[in-house]
């Protein structure tokens, strides 16, 4: 991957950026809130200013966007849109609030299932980064993506790139809403 400096930002030509990731994969850079093995950039999806305009070909974020405060969702998606090159894709996965609510209110669900569904709604809260500030269903997320300028959004069963929560199926039920938004 060729990189150059433009206006104080790093510009990787044809960059594939995995936000919140830990799993190394050829051709991908990792942006994570915590430094660690394989993490290329420390930061989060709230501030993509270190990446130049139209510098990212694919931005992948699985179970990251729900960590953003409600008032920041559209500004964050504006930042994603800015950083994506024309024709670039935003692969986004979030806990599907509709599915989690159905799990939670299911009268036959045992308490541990309801507890698990609640933790997926609000975050595991095991560290300072593991809190969810907003819940999404398909209607909400499509609306926010449209406000940021994404005209083409497709729902998919799986993002199929990394082994992560985008394919999480506890109790035999997919709990993630997976969308591909194209700039």
> Would the pLDDT of 1 be above 60?
no
pLDDT at 130: 85
pLDDT at 5: 47
138 phi-psi bin (left φ>0, alpha ψ -120 to 50, beta other): alpha
Q: Measuring CA to CA, which residue among 98, 124, 131, 101 is closest to residue 114?
A: 101
Q: Which residues contact 68 (CB under 8 A, 6 or more apart)?
A: 45, 46, 76, 133, 134
* Extents of the domains making up the chain: 3-95+131-182
- Cα(31)–Cα(33) distance, integer angstroms: 7
Longest alpha-carbon distance in the chain: 57
Q: What is the pLDDT of residues 70-79, one digit of tens each?
A: 999 999 999 9
Q: What is the pLDDT of residues 130-156, one digit of tens each?
A: 899 999 999 999 999 999 999 999 999
Q: What is the pLDDT of residues 17-62, one digit of tens each?
A: 999 999 999 999 999 999 999 999 999 999 999 999 999 999 999 9
pLDDT at 9: 58
29 close to 12: Cβ distance less than 8 angstroms: yes
User: In the chain, what percentage of residues exceed pLDDT 70?
Assistant: 93
| Range with the poorest average pLDDT among 7-11, 87-91, 96-100, 129-133 | 7-11
Q: What angle do CA 179, 156, 24 make, to 5 degrees?
A: 75
Q: Which residues contact 175 (CB under 8 A, 6 or more apart)?
A: 95, 96, 99, 100, 103, 120, 168, 169
Domain 3-95+131-182 superfamily per CATH = Vaccinia Virus protein VP39 (3.40.50.150)
């Amino acid at each position: 991957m060729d990189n150059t400096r433009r206006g104080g930002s790093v510009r990787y030509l044809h960059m594939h950026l995995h936000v919140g990731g830990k799993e190394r994969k050829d051709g991908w850079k990792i942006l994570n809130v915590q430094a660690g093995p394989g993490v290329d950039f420390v930061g989060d999806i709230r501030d993509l200013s270190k990446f130049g305009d139209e510098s990212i070909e694919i931005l992948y974020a699985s179970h990251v966007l729900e960590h953003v405060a409600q008032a920041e969702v559209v500004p964050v998606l504006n930042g994603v849109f800015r950083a994506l090159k024309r024709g670039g894709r935003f692969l986004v996965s979030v806990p599907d609030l509709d599915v989690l609510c159905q799990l939670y209110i299911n009268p036959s669900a045992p308490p541990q299932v309801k507890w698990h569904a609640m933790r997926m709604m609000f975050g595991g809260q095991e560290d300072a980064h593991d809190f969810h500030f907003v819940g999404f269903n398909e209607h909400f997320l499509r609306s926010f993506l449209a406000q940021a300028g994404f005209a083409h959004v497709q729902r998919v069963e799986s993002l199929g790139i990394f082994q992560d929560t985008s394919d999480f199926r506890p109790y035999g039920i997919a709990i993630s809403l997976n969308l591909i938004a194209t700039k």
